[in-house]
Amino acid sequence: LEFVGSVDVYKRQVLHRVASDGSIKGIARFCFDFAKENCDYLRIDTYKDNIPMQNTLAKNGFCRCGIINTDDGSPRIAYDWEA
């Protein structure tokens, strides 16, 4: 993994879950903008099959870092963002 940021572990934040039923556009952007206004470094991950989220992350300035494995061993694509 190659994370963009080298921010102190105590200053970075992780977005755990962003979800919508799709009926209202812009929910993810709203969440990301709020988080970006309140911290300088963010991490998030998603499933390889979640193409809409991967596209949303790219559109909102997140960089793909590589693959991580959760506690149960399932892989996720890791992203980060730095101010």
Could you list the pLDDT tens digit for every one of the 83 residues in the chain? 556 556 565 566 777 778 888 898 898 999 999 999 988 889 999 999 999 999 999 999 999 999 999 999 999 999 999 88
DSSP for 34-83, written as a single string: HHHHH-SEEEEEE-TT-HHHHHHHHHTT-EEEEEEE-TTS-EEEEEEEE-
Which pLDDT score is estimated for 19?
Answer: 81
Which DSSP symbol is given to 43?
A: E
Length of the chain: 83
Which pLDDT score is estimated for 11?
Answer: 64
Which pLDDT score is estimated for 22?
Answer: 82
Give the integer Cα–Cα distance in Å for 12 and 80: 10
